[in-house]
Amino acid sequence: MASIAAVLDNNSAITRRYGPGLVAVFVGGTSGIGESTARAFIRNTDASHAYLVGRDQARAAEIIRELQQMKPDAQITFIKSDVSLLREVDDACSLIQRNEDKVNILFLSPGIGTMKGRDETDEGLDRKLNLHYYSRMRFVQNLLPQLVKGADITRATESQPSLSRVVSVLEAGSEAAMNLDDLSLKTHYSLRNCAKHAITMNSVSMEHLASHYPQVSFIHSFPGIVRTRLNRDLGTVAKCAVNALVAIAKPWEIPFNESGERHLYAAASPTFPPLAYKDSSIDPAEGSDGRNGSGFYRLSSDGSTYKPSKIMERYRAEGVRSLIWNHTVSVFAHVHNKVSV
C-alpha cells in the first residue's frame, strides 16, 4: 500500500526525476479520473504538454483555462473525438503524432456507465466494450512508436531515467474466464459479460504488450469508488440506485483529487519499472502482475499490486494471451478495411 504522503512526495519529485517537458495523453481527460489525473500531472510537472481527448468541448475549455492559470508554462491541447469509433481513435492519434516525437504517459479512462444491452456502432462493435477495451488498445498500438521514443533508453541515465507508461483505468483484480469463442460478444452479450471481457482482455493484452515492449510499463488499475460523472447516461431509476450505493460506500470513497494524485503515482512512480529496468536473469515469460520479470502491473485503489490471477496464469500457460491479442489486431484490421473501402 502506498500512503497518500508517499504518493504526494513521489509526485512532487517527478520533474527532478525525469526533467521538464513530459508529454501525456489523457483519453477521457474531460471528466472524472482522467481529469483529476491530468490536473495532478500539470500541478506536478514543468513545461509539460497534456492532451485531453473527449467529446465535451465546453468542459475541456474550462479545465484548460484553470490549468493554464495554475501553470502558464504548460501546454494543454483538447482533441475532440468520439473514441467509441476506431476511425476517430486513428484520427486523434495522427494528430498527436504530427505534433510529438515522444509520449511519456498514455492514460486511458474513457468509459460509460450505461445499462443498455449491446449497442452496436457502425463499425460493428459494442460501444461500451469498445470504450473499455478495443479503442484503448488501438491508442496503445498506434502510439507505441512514440512511447518507445519516450523511453529513450539509450539516453536515460541513473540520475535522469526515462518514463514511458500506459495506464488503463477499469477494474484490475476482477479478471475472470471469458467466452473464448465470442470475444467481442456478438451473440453472448450481457452487462456482466461485457465487464468481464473488457477487464480480462485489458489485463491479458497489456501483459502481452509488456513482454514485447520491454521499454514500456503497463498498468491496469482499479480506482476504488470515486465520485465522477460516470452515471450521467443512466435512467432515473438506475441513477438513484447508483447514488444510494455510493452514499452507503461513502466511508470507502476516494476523493477526486486524491484519485488523481494516486493515478499520477501509478503513471510516474519508479515503483513500476518496465521490464528493461528489471533483473535480466528473470525469464519474462514467467512474469505477470509485476512480481517477476514483467513490466505489467495490476494495481488496487491503494496503489498495491494484486496477487497473481489464477485465470491469467491459466491463459498464459494455454497460449490464450496470443489468441486474445491476435483477435484484437484482427478486429482492428476488419474495421480498417471496412472504413477504407
Ligand X SMILES: NC(=O)c1ccc[n+]([C@@H]2O[C@H](COP(=O)([O-])OP(=O)(O)OC[C@H]3O[C@@H](n4cnc5c(N)ncnc54)[C@H](OP(=O)(O)O)[C@@H]3O)[C@@H](O)[C@H]2O)c1
Residues that bind ligand X (CB under 6 A): 28, 30-34, 54-56, 81-84, 109-112, 131-132, 169-171, 223, 225-226, 228-230
Q: How far is CA 63 from the centre of its chain?
A: 20
Min dist. Cβ of residue 135 to ligand X (A): 8
Min dist. Cβ of residue 92 to ligand X (A): 9
- CA-to-CA distance for 114 and 116, rounded, in angstroms? 5
Min dist. Cβ of residue 320 to ligand X (A): 23
Min dist. Cβ of residue 173 to ligand X (A): 11
Q: Are 313 and 272 in contact (CB under 8 A)?
A: no
Q: Is 36 left (phi over 0), alpha (psi -120 to 50) or beta?
A: alpha
- CA-to-CA distance for 42 and 56, rounded, in angstroms? 20
Indicate the residue among 60 and 204 with the shorter CB distance to ligand X.
60
Indicate the residue among 76 and 320 with the shorter CB distance to ligand X.
76
Min dist. Cβ of residue 157 to ligand X (A): 35
Min dist. Cβ of residue 259 to ligand X (A): 8
Min dist. Cβ of residue 56 to ligand X (A): 3
Residue nearest to ligand X (CB): 32
Indicate the residue among 27 and 320 with the shorter CB distance to ligand X.
27
Nine cell digits for residue 240: 438513484
Question: How would you class 158 by CB atoms within 10 Å of its CB: exposed for 0-12, middle for 13-18, buried for 19 or more?
Answer: exposed
Closest CA to 206 of 92, 314, 25, 328: 328
The alpha carbon dihedral of 160, 109, 88, 323 has a sign of positive
Min dist. Cβ of residue 318 to ligand X (A): 28
Q: Are 132 and 111 in contact (CB under 8 A)?
A: yes
Nine cell digits for residue 127: 460501444
Kindly list the distances between the CA atom of residue 256 and the CA atoms of 58, 223, 227, 320, in Å, as whole numbers in the listed order: 20, 11, 7, 36
Indicate the residue among 30 and 162 with the shorter CB distance to ligand X.
30
Min dist. Cβ of residue 338 to ligand X (A): 19
Indicate the residue among 260 and 293 with the shorter CB distance to ligand X.
260
Indicate the residue among 112 and 241 with the shorter CB distance to ligand X.
112
> Residue 221 belongs to what H/E stretch?
strand 217-221
Indicate the residue among 37 and 269 with the shorter CB distance to ligand X.
37
Q: Are 38 and 75 in contact (CB under 8 A)?
A: no
Indicate the residue among 211 and 259 with the shorter CB distance to ligand X.
259
Question: How would you class 248 by CB atoms within 10 Å of its CB: exposed for 0-12, middle for 13-18, buried for 19 or more?
Answer: exposed
Indicate the residue among 214 and 223 with the shorter CB distance to ligand X.
223
- CA-to-CA distance for 90 and 94, rounded, in angstroms? 6
Count, residues in the chain: 341
